[in-house]
Structure 1
Amino acid sequence: MSSEPEPSASTFAVWAPDASRVRLRVGAPGTDTTDHPMEPGTGGWWHAEVPGSGTGTDYAFLLDDDPVPLPDPRSRHQPHGVHGPSRRVDPAAWTWHDAGWRGRALPGSVVYELHIGTFTPEGTFDAAVDRLDHLVDLGVDLVEVMPVNAFDGTAGWGYDGVLWGAVHEPYGGPEGFHRFVDACHTRGLGVLLDVVYNHLGPSGAYLNRFGPYFAGETAWGPSLNLDGPGSDEVRRYVIDNALGWLRDLHLDGLRLDAVHALHDQRATHLLAELSAEVAALSAGLGRPLTLIAESDRNDPRTVAPLEAGGLGMAAQWSDDLHHSLHARLTGESQGYYADFAVPRALPATLRRAFFHAGTWSSFRGRTHGAPVDTRTVPGHRFLGYLQNHDQIGNRARGDRITGTVSPRLACCGAAIVLCSPYTPMLFMGEEWAASTPWQFFASFPDPELARSVREGRRREFGRHGWGDAEVPEPMDPETVRRSTLRWAERDEPPHREVLDTYRALIALRRARPELADPRLDRFAVDADPGCRWLVLHRGPLRLACNLSAEPLLVPLDRPVAAVPLAPWGVEAAEGGLRLPPESFAVVDLTR
């Protein structure tokens, strides 16, 4: 497989195997620009030497006789937007303060997902830095940042990116992201980045002008050619992008969006190839690097080691855990929640990570998934969550679970996640039951594209029974404002009580290693037939939850010796605990 020639401070290179002529245009828009012919090299690469064109130089490429200059597919900076020229960046020139950083391993960690544009009113990396101490105080270990690659417009979720190595300019560009990562590391926080390799956004996707990058269309945009003619260099493009984030931005891992949409029929899957290269980089850097997949397949091979024939991912999201928990707490049964509306779904999914494990899925109309071997696969390979960006933002109103259930019942859900053997993940603001929704928003300047996106979302929501009146206008800046966290409410009731409960749960998880023990074969779940109460067995500890609206006697297998955490009180009773409605307690049965 060929790769990009090693660049110097004045060398430019681009892969354009089908072009008969390539020119390099140097200069910023509105200034005097100069065009330089590029020389063809091996493997479809073109290069040009332009003295004095180091860091800060704006440049673009002209292919054949097309008069429209195009940004660099491997651009690191797009200060003029995704349709403008690229700008050279030298990460080696940045000043870092994390020389003593040795990384953060996923097992035992608490992950916190955030969106830079709505995490603070300013919506920038620098503003987010000012809130990092809150995450430290909460007990977070890893910050998972939603996509920051360049996309068309100013506001969006980030999944419509088209230049995967360029950091979105309104957030603060590459240097802003560098400052954010550096600030996280100096506070002991690892940083994961959500990256999207399964498709490109609909505006500014110029890769196919350069070569055979595209293989077809998905519901979200063009997909990459990973197994057809010319795909060697396309795969290299993806892998180099991933390695660049980890090496040059000092990231601790990547979350790979919707890997089930990566169409790859080659003998070695792209994810396996990526896993091997990231493992090699990790060894070279001397710190753990984590790859987390989002997959809809419920396939344990995703997280199986390469040597066992797996794809080598360190972990994957488990939507089944979310769906079973959400359906039990809210009573919702529409759409894909229909499969999880039965009382047994929650305890069954907690025991085995997947509810659909080679079993019938009514939503799909077929059997789905494969079982996890709980004797050999540790629970930390699956992320569990009460909320995430998808499960809130893909609701018509973008309403959080606390818009449907009481804060106390939501805290019961958090306790189940944080006391389970899985890697817990929180979504920004969840820890204080934020009143703000998190709605779908975008800001495409093209009115026709904006109309298409608007109508597409309404059709999608209509299939789930939501009417147009419930769907916010995605292009309205007010939708972004509504979705932005209100930090002042943390100190108001009932938000303060919820925040205190989350802090206490995370602190207890850290103080008692039994709560983070990932061994699924040592994990047990008890529940009554209606799943009104639930008990998680964690060594000598028990998490007892009353999920009903009535006081309940929750049976235990041994007498209580101590009560490490009971936010709403608990009363010892013959054979168990008497819990108030919608409450939980962590008790110690050590004799």
Structure 2
Amino acid sequence: MTAKSIKYWGCEYSDSSETRFRLWASGQQQVSLRVKGDTIPMNPTGSGGFALCVANVAPGSPYSFILADGTAVPDPASRAQLGDVNGSSQVYDPNSYAWQFTDWQGRAWEESVIYELHIGTFTPEGTFRAATDKLSYLAELGITVIELMPVSQAGGKRGWGYDGVLLYAPHSAYGTPDELKAFVDTAHGLGLSVILDIVLNHFGPEGNYLPLLAPDFFHPERMTPWGNGIAYDLDPVREYITDAPLFWLREYHLDGLRFDAIDQIKDSADTHVLIEIAERIRREITDRPVHLTTEDSRNVVYLHPRTEDGAAPLFTAEWNDDMHNAAHVMVTGETHAWHLDFADHPEKWLARALTEGFAYQGDRSPQTCERRGVDSRCQPPVAFVDFIQNHDQVGNRAQGDRLISLIGEARTQVLQAALLLSPHIPLLFMGEEYGETRPFLFFTDFHGDLARAVREGRAREFADHDETVPDPNALETFNRSKLDWDKLNQPDGEAWLHFTQQLLKLRQQAIVPLLANARGGTGKVLKTAPGCMVVSWTFPQGTLTLALNASDRHETLPDIAGETLFAWPDARTELHPDTLIVRFAQGETTR
């Protein structure tokens, strides 16, 4: 990919000279700009590009691109929207926000305890400003990293965020760009890192005018589960996609990004677009650590290499769905869909995921009958982000059931303790810290034929479950998914919160110091039985052992040396039902 002299996208505001507007519209012969009440023809720049400079444009001014037939469309690289995704874009002054914590240096990855939240349902108001008011609560809890579900402008006022179409604009329903900056700034002042989930594999179904502007933005012969694949090999497309991650990191001072479903990003260029993105970020942002995580069903490690000193020159870590799926099957007995791969001895798959990274490392999948994954034993524990629930695993259930509603409080606590005390990077889904029982449902805000298609598609997806699926477009479905903050004032919520806080404190004291120099190949499975496993990891400082029994049977505990760091539900020395014991032995071996 050679350097380009022509930029194809976006509005560059200037307070001292002309503001530049750019657009790639290879499917249009002419394009005009509507701004300040005038409609002005734009100048072709070659290769389908158009540009125009306009003097004396004030921040906040609405603007649109006007096609030859009179159709008005927003800027695909809009930095802010006046209203919804179909309306006018707004000129934005990137210097309008005065950052307070400019000395923020970030946090080391091994310190990470990730808290995934959805801005629209995290608070009753569902805004950046309201979420900012909750940040001190998360810092006091012991969270170190906030992961925002996607916030790019999408169709409607509510949705998960994975149907974004204006990849550079924060969703106007959540607030302004400056309010998002204030959220990040406040987080930094409290010692919290902020990671944003971004979607570079598809565009949503409403408000996506790119097929009209530039049909060749997409590969008609290449499909994803959500529509036509993106033509990453074209220069203007590649610029749009590769600039977006850098934009969010720089403009919003973010500490990292999570890349959604990268297995659906197919690129024929010599350097894959994902590698180009990671290399650019590592090369261009050097003033703070930047953490890049991926979601990828293929179980690959080539995107997550480590240098001799343990640094990650490309991506930092991978979401470990295998760990979740194995744990879920072990405690629920559910074996439908992707859970079928873990139906046979799920405790063995879970033990392998915890000690080696992936469960599937080239093994044949019963669900697809194909082999999946590669050997991941070379990866350090911090190369994997583990969770026992997240937006996908809860929200993709028909009723949005959280794990506590499926298996009860005692067993959920055992799994949560194991999650937070393993050497992998843990992720909590919002509300999990206090035992939230409200569902997190699949919700959208579409209308007309699109709303009907989504509603009917959701119903078909669960047709064999013999249950009524909530209408994704109903406001009630969205409101039911909001956190119940009143639960924190109830005894069970207070107890859960204290439980989580104590675990996080112990993690920072006893687990995190082991991780900075941790390498791969140090995990070992000591025992498995139905619903039970005992595993260990050896570090230069000593050996950490975790024994978990999530069954209804008593199991014998292997002879394990070391100090007991944690035992739940009390100071137990045997593996009674719903028990977790964690020990640490100084030195590199246990007896």
User: TM-score, length-normalised on structure 1?
Assistant: 0.91
Task: Single out whichever of 47-56 and 162-171 deviates more from structure 2.
Answer: 47-56
Report the alpha carbon displacement of residue 409 of structure 1 after superposing the two structures with TM: 1.1
- The amino acid of 2:35's aligned partner reads V
- The amino acid of 1:564's aligned partner reads L
- The amino acid of 2:569's aligned partner reads W
CA spacing shift, 1:579–1:233, aligned 2, 3 Å: same
Q: 2:31 aligns with which of 22, 44, 49?
A: 22
Q: Which residue of 1 is the match for residue 268 of structure 2?
A: 265
Structure 2 CA distance, aligned partners of 1:541 and 1:368? 29
Contact 1:321–1:349 (Cα < 8 Å) also in 2: yes
Contact 1:114–1:428 (Cα < 8 Å) also in 2: yes
Contact 1:269–1:311 (Cα < 8 Å) also in 2: no
Report the alpha carbon displacement of residue 338 of structure 1 after superposing the two structures with TM: 1.6
Structure 1 CA distance, aligned partners of 2:85 and 2:143? 34
Q: 2:59 aligns with which of 45, 55, 62?
A: 55
Contact 1:387–1:401 (Cα < 8 Å) also in 2: yes
Structure 2 CA distance, aligned partners of 1:416 and 1:144? 21
CA spacing shift, 1:355–1:586, aligned 2, 3 Å: closer
Contact 1:110–1:141 (Cα < 8 Å) also in 2: yes
1:578 matches 2:550: no
Q: Which residue of 2 is the match for residue 509 of structure 1?
A: 507
1:224 matches 2:230: yes
Contact 1:420–1:515 (Cα < 8 Å) also in 2: no
Contact 1:569–1:580 (Cα < 8 Å) also in 2: no
Structure 2 CA distance, aligned partners of 1:305 and 1:544? 29
Q: Which residue of 1 is the match for residue 461 of structure 2?
A: 460
Structure 2 CA distance, aligned partners of 1:269 and 1:409? 43
Task: Single out whichever of 5-14 and 79-88 deviates more from structure 2.
Answer: 5-14
CA spacing shift, 1:516–1:330, aligned 2, 3 Å: farther
- The amino acid of 1:203's aligned partner reads E
CA spacing shift, 1:22–1:109, aligned 2, 3 Å: same
Q: Which residue of 2 is the match for residue 450 of structure 1?
A: 451
Structure 2 CA distance, aligned partners of 1:198 and 1:390? 17
1:137 matches 2:137: no
- The amino acid of 1:261's aligned partner reads Q
1:50-129 alignment, distance < 5 Å: 50-63=54-67, 65-129=68-132
1:174 matches 2:183: no
Q: Which residue of 2 is the match for residue 484 of structure 1?
A: 482
Report the alpha carbon displacement of residue 222 of structure 1 after superposing the two structures with TM: 3.7
Report the alpha carbon displacement of residue 523 of structure 1 after superposing the two structures with TM: 2.7
> 4+ runs of 1 displaced by more than 6 Å?
none
- The amino acid of 2:294's aligned partner reads A
Task: Single out whichever of 264-273 and 537-546 deviates more from structure 2.
Answer: 537-546
1:494 matches 2:492: yes
Q: Quote the sequence identity (%).
A: 37
Report the alpha carbon displacement of residue 400 of structure 1 after superposing the two structures with TM: 0.6
Report the alpha carbon displacement of residue 265 of structure 1 after superposing the two structures with TM: 1.7
Report the alpha carbon displacement of residue 353 of structure 1 after superposing the two structures with TM: 1.4
Q: Which residue of 2 is the match for residue 534 of structure 1?
A: 534
CA spacing shift, 1:565–1:355, aligned 2, 3 Å: closer
Report the alpha carbon displacement of residue 533 of structure 1 after superposing the two structures with TM: 4.3
Q: 1:275 aligns with which of 275, 278, 287?
A: 278
Task: Single out whichever of 501-510 and 243-252 deviates more from structure 2.
Answer: 501-510
Structure 2 CA distance, aligned partners of 1:306 and 1:379? 15
Per-residue CA deviation, residues 478-525 of structure 1 (Å, 9 max, x unaligned), is 111111000110232433322222211111110014675343423333
- The amino acid of 1:378's aligned partner reads P
- The amino acid of 2:323's aligned partner reads L
Give secondary structure in 2 for the equivalent of 1:544: strand
Report the alpha carbon displacement of residue 385 of structure 1 after superposing the two structures with TM: 0.6
Structure 1 CA distance, aligned partners of 2:543 and 2:320? 26
1:471 matches 2:473: no
Per-residue CA deviation, residues 540-575 of structure 1 (Å, 9 max, x unaligned), is 4433322222444422322x5x4333342134xxxx
Q: Which runs of 5+ in 1 are unaligned?
A: 28-32, 572-576
Contact 2:119–2:131 (Cα < 8 Å) also in 1: yes
Q: Which residue of 2 is the match for residue 201 of structure 1?
A: 204
Contact 1:421–1:520 (Cα < 8 Å) also in 2: no
CA spacing shift, 1:258–1:306, aligned 2, 3 Å: farther
Give secondary structure in 1 for the equivalent of 2:507: helix
Contact 1:407–1:494 (Cα < 8 Å) also in 2: no
CA spacing shift, 1:287–1:311, aligned 2, 3 Å: closer
- The amino acid of 1:528's aligned partner reads T
Per-residue CA deviation, residues 444-480 of structure 1 (Å, 9 max, x unaligned), is 1x31100001111122223xx423x331111111111
- The amino acid of 1:288's aligned partner reads P
Q: Which residue of 2 is the match for residue 242 of structure 1?
A: 245
Structure 2 CA distance, aligned partners of 1:431 and 1:492? 14
Contact 1:149–1:161 (Cα < 8 Å) also in 2: yes
Report the alpha carbon displacement of residue 419 of structure 1 after superposing the two structures with TM: 2.1
Q: 1:183 aligns with which of 183, 186, 190?
A: 186
Q: Which residue of 2 is the match for residue 41 of structure 1?
A: 45
Report the alpha carbon displacement of residue 401 of structure 1 after superposing the two structures with TM: 0.7
Give secondary structure in 1 for the equivalent of 2:211: helix
Structure 1 CA distance, aligned partners of 2:582 and 2:294? 31
CA spacing shift, 1:15–1:519, aligned 2, 3 Å: same
CA spacing shift, 1:552–1:359, aligned 2, 3 Å: closer
Q: Which runs of 5+ in 2 are unaligned?
A: none
Give secondary structure in 2 for the equivalent of 1:512: helix
Per-residue CA deviation, residues 164-200 of structure 1 (Å, 9 max, x unaligned), is 1111111012122111111111111111111111000
Give secondary structure in 2 for the equivalent of 1:36: strand
Contact 1:421–1:515 (Cα < 8 Å) also in 2: no
Give secondary structure in 1 for the equivalent of 2:437: coil
Q: Which residue of 2 is the match for residue 30 of structure 1?
A: none
Aligned pairs, number: 566
Report the alpha carbon displacement of residue 238 of structure 1 after superposing the two structures with TM: 0.8
User: TM-score, length-normalised on structure 2?
Assistant: 0.91
Give secondary structure in 2 for the equivalent of 1:302: coil
1:279-318 alignment, distance < 5 Å: 279-283=282-286, 286-304=287-305, 312-318=314-320
Structure 2 CA distance, aligned partners of 1:428 and 1:135? 10
Task: Single out whichever of 37-46 and 255-264 deviates more from structure 2.
Answer: 37-46
Report the alpha carbon displacement of residue 55 of structure 1 after superposing the two structures with TM: 1.2
Structure 1 CA distance, aligned partners of 2:166 and 2:202? 11
Contact 1:339–1:362 (Cα < 8 Å) also in 2: yes
Structure 1 CA distance, aligned partners of 2:169 and 2:407? 40
Q: Which residue of 2 is the match for residue 160 of structure 1?
A: 163
Q: Which residue of 2 is the match for residue 351 of structure 1?
A: 355
- The amino acid of 1:507's aligned partner reads K
Contact 1:159–1:201 (Cα < 8 Å) also in 2: yes
